[in-house]
């Protein structure tokens, strides 16, 4: 008599599966809140020191911290072509984006206006992802993009005061983030989040450091404010947030993850009201509501 052997598939306990599901559901709102807080810390930091110096210190310290974590956890390190691709994402997402946006804040642009430029990131990513990654964008998602973009504009309506160089820097920062996100999703979507993110920071740090020496007088004017802002940016915004971002990019499409950026201008405005006393007007509240509806639509499959 023949005996049929069936392969036993290990089952995940219900409690563990539930915790994983809840943790995954918490990632997007936590990411939006922490990402938005970077603009508040950045605004405080660029008042205390030149923007590129602040950016260099952020990258160097975050890169060293993540390197230590990767070594302790024995994370695999990228090599060869994978290392080159991760270096490109580091230059785009880190050096280009934050070098440009922090410099724009150093020129006097409000945190909400800088968040506005970054909040348009989902539309740019959707266009790039559709053409380069073959990701399908549905009509409902395009409607969500439109509502999200409208919410972004409403969130900072009446509070925009641009300088020509500031506008250029906002566009450069937006393109760096969008192109880097799509490039990472296409070429290094499965990188280890600890070692890969460490490489991104360590590649970006010398580029920004040389730029600071070339274009700034790297001197700290107010050490307590600089130290506080830097500590938050390194520990929360550099390490925690980018580990979250890279984890979400491994689990979802680039265009879907990018829709979260629609919420950052409004959330940034709320945080600015709570932390540094900036006025929260009806436009911001309307933008927050409209951007939320846009995210819900654009995030639906």
Percent of the chain with pLDDT over 70: 79
Whether pLDDT at 9 is above 50: no
Is it the case that residue 26 has pLDDT exceeding 90?
no
Least confident segment among 65-79, 189-203, 238-252: 238-252
Q: What share of the chain is helix, strand, coil (3-state, %, to 5)?
A: 80, 0, 20
Q: Once rounded to an integer, what is the mean pLDDT over residues 224-228?
A: 94
* Better pLDDT: 18 or 22: 22
Q: Decide which of 45 and 264 is more confident.
A: 45
C-alpha–C-alpha distance, residues 177 and 85, integer Å: 15
125 closest CA partner among 91, 100, 154, 148: 148
Burial (CB count within 10 angstroms: exposed 0-12, middle 13-18, buried 19+), residue 182 = buried
Question: Per-residue pLDDT tens for 118-143?
Answer: 777 777 777 776 666 666 767 777 78
Higher pLDDT, 15 or 290: 290
72-76, 200-204, 264-268, 279-283: segment of lowest average pLDDT: 279-283
Question: Among 103-107, 146-150, 266-270, whose mean pLDDT is lowest?
Answer: 146-150
| Mean pLDDT across 71-75 | 94
Residue 70 pLDDT: 93
d(CA 76, CA 43): 36
Q: Rounded mean pLDDT of 5-32?
A: 64
* Residue 20 pLDDT class (50, 70, 90 cuts): low
- Dig out the tokens for 203 from the structure: 């590649």
**Residue 53: predicted pLDDT:** 96
Residue 213 has pLDDT above 90, yes or no: yes
Each residue of 50-61: pLDDT tens digit?
A: 999 999 999 999
Mean pLDDT for the stretch of residues 95-101: 94
DSSP 182-250: HHHHHH-TT--HHHHHHHHHHHHHHHHHHHHHHHS----S-HHHHHHHHHHIIIIIIIIHHHHHHHHHH
More confident residue, 99 or 134: 99
């Amino acid at each position: 008599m023949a005996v049929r052997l069936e392969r036993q598939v290990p089952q995940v306990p219900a409690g563990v599966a539930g915790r994983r599901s809840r943790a995954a559901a918490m990632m997007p709102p936590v990411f939006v809140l922490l990402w938005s807080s970077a603009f508040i810390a950045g605004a405080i930091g660029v008042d205390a020191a030149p923007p590129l110096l602040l950016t260099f210190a952020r990258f160097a310290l975050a890169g060293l911290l993540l390197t230590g974590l990767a070594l302790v956890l024995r994370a695999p390190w990228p090599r060869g072509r994978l290392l080159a691709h991760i270096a490109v994402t580091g230059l785009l997402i880190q050096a280009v984006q934050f070098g440009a946006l922090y410099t724009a804040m150093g020129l006097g642009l409000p945190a909400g206006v800088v968040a506005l430029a970054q909040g348009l990131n989902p539309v740019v990513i959707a266009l790039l992802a559709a053409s380069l990654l073959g990701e399908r964008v549905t009509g409902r998602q395009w409607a969500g993009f439109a509502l999200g973009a409208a919410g972004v504009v409403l969130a900072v309506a009446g509070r925009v005061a641009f300088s020509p160089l500031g506008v250029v820097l906002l566009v450069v920062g937006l393109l760096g983030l969008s192109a880097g996100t799509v490039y990472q999703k296409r070429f290094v979507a499965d990188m280890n989040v600890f070692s890969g993110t460490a490489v991104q920071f360590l590649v970006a740090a010398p580029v920004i450091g040389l730029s600071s020496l070339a274009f700034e007088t790297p001197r700290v004017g107010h050490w307590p404010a600089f130290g506080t802002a830097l500590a938050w940016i390194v520990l929360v915004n550099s390490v925690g947030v980018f580990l979250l971002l890279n984890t979400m990019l491994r689990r979802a499409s680039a265009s879907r993850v990018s829709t979260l950026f629609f919420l950052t201008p409004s959330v940034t405005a709320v945080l600015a009201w709570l932390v540094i006393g900036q006025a929260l007007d009806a436009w911001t509240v309307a933008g927050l509501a409209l951007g939320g509806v846009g995210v819900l639509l654009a995030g639906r499959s």
